[in-house]
Amino acid sequence: MKRLFFGVLALVLAGQSVAAQGNVSTLGFGYPPGQLSSRAEGAAGAFGEVDAQSGINPAALSTWGPLGIHFQYDPEFRTVKAFDTTENTTTSRFPVFSAGIPIGHFVVGINASTLLDQTWLVNINTYLPPETNDAYGTTATTTYRSTGGITDLQFGLAWNATPWLAVGAAFHAFTGEQQVLQEVTVTDTVNNRYQPSSYLQTNSYGGEGFSVGFELKPRPFLTLAGSYRGGGSMLIKSGDSTNLAHDPLPARAGGSIMFSGVPGVLIAGRVDWEGWSALNALSTPNPDLVARDGTGWSIGTDIQGPTVAGRVVTLRVGGGRRPLPYMFDGVSIMETDIGGGLGIPFGRGRATLDLSLNHDWRTEVAGVSESAYILSLGLTIRP
Amino acid sequence: VILWKTCVSGPGKRLLAVTVFTAICAVVGACSEKLNGGNGCPALCPGQVSSISDTIFRLDSFSLVYDTSVYPYPDVGEEPALLLSNAPGVQDVRAVVRFDSVGDSISVLYDSGTTSAVDSTKPITGIDTAVLVLQINPHSVKLGVLNDSIIFTVYDVDVPGLDTGTAALAALFTPANLAGTATFAYDSLADTLKSDTVRIPISPHVVLAHIQNGGDRNLHFGIQVRGAMDGDPVRLWVSNAASGSGPAFFYRARYMNFRESVDSTTISTNSTTPTYPPGFASQLRTFPLFVIGSPPTRPDILDIGGLPARRVYLRFHLPSTIVDSSNVIRATLRLKQIPTPQVFPTDSVAVWPTPVTSTAEVSEPAKAAEFVVASSTWNLDSTLTQPADTGLISLELSGAFRAWHQVIDTVVTRALVLRTLNEGANPVRAAFYSSLAADTSKRPHLEIRYVKQVPLALP
């Protein structure tokens, strides 16, 4: 009944859906950066389940080490090709911030990571026919600019139960907002004839969830990890006043295996399932754009590399493929990724600079193809 | 055991350093976002169609609307300049300049009949020279093709108790009251590089008649211009008292039979009557007389400019769905012009839409039309028209709609005034069909192009 109410309300309030944003990756509720740290991104996410700075597995907090904080900057350089034209964009993201505090056999962790990024801009040109007495028509440019997204704020606790088992749990608060600025500008040769139009609409998000995970070392050279996030629901408000939707959040589950039998080398494989179809309940029905569940995978390696100025640099490389949340016009959108990176300690081991560069290809839909380079610069400081 | 650190040489380290440096540069370079998206539209933008709508209102379709001519503007004597115009039978605009309370005595500096100098005040017994000095605006001088010179004629129009009665004052412009006359070549008046001051000799007898033997000491001069060739039009502006450089009166007076004039005086305009309303006398230091060329107003015609100057007061009753709930990006008022014969057929006039800032408390159009501010306040611009032509003129009002957006009509009325510049000095009048015009197609129309707010649903 509640869902029916919100559904009817959404239809009443609905004008146009902001489902499609002129490119492949930010459809619907946006692009999921993956909640991965720079280190994990360097291996295409293969170490996501066992990486303390990534917001994936609360049990991975057990490997935080000394008290520290981590933050990162991930610009994406995207190329969209459609109808014989190419468009290049740059999107700035700060997708992960995390902190870990070890307390005996426990580690308390805070992690704020971008679940879905809704940064995009669309320009639509419309021919305006001449009005009475006008000699010519003109062109109006309608711009939709969206900023914001949904942030996953985690408060986690990991317990090193034994040398070969760690478990963890986290409470998730999903928060954030999307601001969509609608602007119309008209270029005209006559002064004062046209005025620009501007509307700002804000949707705010609030929700909660939980996650649990484990890290198991059945052998010294083998680590198995798994996690699950679920529960809770998301409340979406328009302008902090009108409830637009109140439905379950997408769940996710994943597992990985990591081999460390060769000194200086880590090799990992990861499988991750995302229950994105839950977004359909939060969305305005749209037969062209449907969220669907999907499973992705990645493999990668982490190798202790050369010594530069007395520092042991870590080299990473990996690749994988994962589903993006939506299928458009019946085509599931996948993202194929290869990446590499560096880890450079400095400050006598009190800080680490992680660099990674990933090249992604996304499934072509409706004649629109898209690829991107995502650069990640992460800094971990242990004061 | 793989120990890269033992196999990476100097060049490898440099390569690593370059890689890190390049990555950091790329990160810094990406600090500014560039989101010029939309390449995937319309295929990937099915919901984001244009939200621009067009609509046309005929002004009389509103349930409450004013479109009416109101006048006169400005108050008499507050014109930006004194207009002098003469097109026989078509337009006759004269001017009155007042020099009240002229002194009737002079200070005698020395007595040539004695050996010792004295300093005493003596009554004026003679005038050697009297000149009316006028400042001409060279840009305003217009003359018919037959003329090459302009004749200024000055009359004594001082009648106690007569202030602004146009007919009575005009009747005083007779040869019997002639005070002076002067002819000036067009080239000398219209040449901006030369002096723009004209001096018209005034009969000493006229001056003496007012300052001798208990005269009223008031000099009221009526000024009329005409072309040297009768029937040919002439028009010019003279600086008035309100402009700060108005007419002046110069005279050299003497006492008794002394051979030398003993005092030279230049006086500015001054008016002492009427005493009510307060301040009105000051307005009458210089003022125009619109003798011919002021047609009556009609309800089916919107008059702008002319003599005396008229304004059009427009008050709109607009749908809130457009003014408040939408953004108007263009609003154009279309007025159908009624050809108006002009003294100079090529005359044009700029019609200025002007913001009205009165509240709804001010309901009388003539009163509300005084609560105006500069057009630039609302980013409004003028439209130039030649009143002698027929056709449609367009006034862009989008700036006004922006000002009215989500401001209730009782706080700031959704009203505009259409006016000309130099009201009261510019004789050009433009006329348009009003909302009462018999032919509905000729009535004013408001064409609005607006953007509806698109309530963005969830993705």
Q: What is the pLDDT of residues B316-332, one digit of tens each?
A: 888 888 888 889 999 99
Please give the average per-residue pLDDT across B301-313, as a whole number: 93
Please give the average per-residue pLDDT across A231-238, as a whole number: 82
In chain B, which residue's Cα lies nearest the Cα of A199? B453
Q: Is the pLDDT of residue B54 over 90?
A: no
Residues of chain B contacting A195 with CB distance shorter than 8 Å: 327-330, 379, 398-399, 401-402
Residue A376: name the closest of A87, A33, A50 by CA: A33
Cβ distance B459 to A17 less than 8 Å, yes or no, reads yes
Residues of chain B contacting A81 with CB distance shorter than 8 Å: 39
Residue B122: name the closest of B102, B101, B103, B108 by CA: B108
Of the residues B324, B382, B456, the best mutation for testing chain A's interface (the one with the most A CB atoms within 10 Å of its CB) is: B456
Q: Is the pLDDT of residue B93 over 90?
A: yes
Task: Give the pLDDT confidence score for residue A41 in this predicted structure.
Answer: 96
Task: Give the pLDDT confidence score for residue B119 in this predicted structure.
Answer: 57
A 10 A CB-CB count for A186 gives: 20
Please give the average per-residue pLDDT across B1-19, as a whole number: 54
pLDDT, greater one: B298 or A56: A56
A87 in contact with B at a CB cutoff of 8 Å? yes
Task: Give the pLDDT confidence score for residue B312 in this predicted structure.
Answer: 94
Range name among A129-143, B46-60, B118-132, B135-149 with the lowest pLDDT average? B46-60
Q: How far apart are CA B208 and CA A377, in angstroms?
A: 99
Please give the average per-residue pLDDT across B417-445, as a whole number: 93
Please give the average per-residue pLDDT across B374-387, as a whole number: 93
Task: Give the pLDDT confidence score for residue B372 in this predicted structure.
Answer: 92
Please give the average per-residue pLDDT across A15-28, as a whole number: 68
Cβ distance B46 to A344 less than 8 Å, yes or no, reads no
The beta-carbon neighbor of B16 closest among A119, A238, A313 is A313
Task: Give the pLDDT confidence score for residue B5 in this predicted structure.
Answer: 46
Q: Which residues pair with B22 in a beta bridge?
A: none
Which phi and psi (to 5°) does residue A36 adopt?
-105, 145
A 10 A CB-CB count for A353 gives: 21
Residues of chain B contacting A85 with CB distance shorter than 8 Å: 39
B364 in Cβ contact with B419 (< 8 Å): no
Cβ distance B12 to A306 less than 8 Å, yes or no, reads yes
pLDDT in tens, B157-195: 998 888 888 999 999 999 999 999 999 998 888 887 765
Quickly state the pLDDT bin for B259 (edges 50, 70, 90): low
Residues of chain B contacting A357 with CB distance shorter than 8 Å: 23
pLDDT, greater one: B414 or B455: B414
Cα-Cα-Cα-Cα dihedral sign, residues A345, A347, A349, A352? negative
Range name among A131-135, A240-244, A250-254 with the lowest pLDDT average? A240-244
Which phi and psi (to 5°) does residue B411 adopt?
-85, -50
Task: Give the pLDDT confidence score for residue B30 in this predicted structure.
Answer: 63
B374 in contact with A at a CB cutoff of 8 Å? no
Put simply, whether the predicted model's pTM sits higher than 0.90 gets the answer no
Map residue B62 onto helix, strand or coil: coil
DSSP letter string over B24-44?
A: HHHHHHTTS-B----TTTTTT
Q: Is the pLDDT of residue B297 over 90?
A: no
Cβ distance B394 to A198 less than 8 Å, yes or no, reads no
Read off the tokens for B101: 């309370």
B317 in contact with A at a CB cutoff of 8 Å? no
- Residue given tokens 């484990």 in the structure block: A214
Task: Give the pLDDT confidence score for residue A58 in this predicted structure.
Answer: 96
If you average pLDDT over each of B146-150, B320-324, B348-352, which comes out highest? Answer: B348-352
Read off the tokens for A142: 């309608």
Please give the average per-residue pLDDT across A30-56, as a whole number: 95
Please give the average per-residue pLDDT across B79-98, as a whole number: 94
How many residues in chain A?
A: 383
Task: Give the pLDDT confidence score for residue B26 in this predicted structure.
Answer: 66
The beta-carbon neighbor of A92 closest among B31, B379, B458 is B31
Of the residues A131, A312, A365, the best mutation for testing chain B's interface (the one with the most B CB atoms within 10 Å of its CB) is: A131
Task: Give the pLDDT confidence score for residue B2 in this predicted structure.
Answer: 41
Cβ distance A195 to B12 less than 8 Å, yes or no, reads no
pLDDT in tens, B110-126: 555 544 455 567 788 88
Please give the average per-residue pLDDT across B255-272, as a whole number: 77
Residue A356: name the closest of A311, A307, A306, A319 by CA: A319
CB pairs under 8 A between A and B: 276
Whole-complex ipTM: 0.74
Residues of chain A contacting B453 with CB distance shorter than 8 Å: 15, 182, 199, 201
Cβ distance B44 to A355 less than 8 Å, yes or no, reads no
- Contacts of the segment B169-177: beta carbons below 8 A, 24+ positions apart: B169/B96, B169/B222, B169/B289, B170/B94, B170/B289, B170/B291, B172/B222, B173/B94, B173/B222, B173/B224, B177/B222
pLDDT in tens, A82-111: 878 888 889 999 999 999 999 999 999 999
Q: Is the pLDDT of residue A3 over 50?
A: no
Query: CA-CA-CA-CA torsion for B9, B15, B19, B20, nearest 10 degrees?
Result: 50
Q: What is the 3-state secondary structure (H, E, C) of B225-258?
A: EEECCCCCCEEEEECCHHHCCCCEEEEEEECCCC
Residues of chain B contacting A308 with CB distance shorter than 8 Å: 13, 16-17
B33 in contact with A at a CB cutoff of 8 Å? yes
Quickly state the pLDDT bin for B48 (edges 50, 70, 90): low
Mean pLDDT, chain B, rounded, equals 85
Q: Is the pLDDT of residue A12 over 50?
A: no
DSSP letter string over B344-407?
A: STT--EEEEEEEB---TT---HHHHTT-B--GGGGT---EEE-TTS-EEEEEE-HHHHHHHTT-
Task: Give the pLDDT confidence score for residue B116 in this predicted structure.
Answer: 46
B93 in Cβ contact with B307 (< 8 Å): yes
DSSP B378: G
Map residue B367 onto helix, strand or coil: helix
Range name among A74-78, A192-196, A289-293, B8-12 with the lowest pLDDT average? B8-12
Q: Is the pLDDT of residue B6 over 50?
A: no
Cβ distance A87 to B37 less than 8 Å, yes or no, reads yes
DSSP B190: H
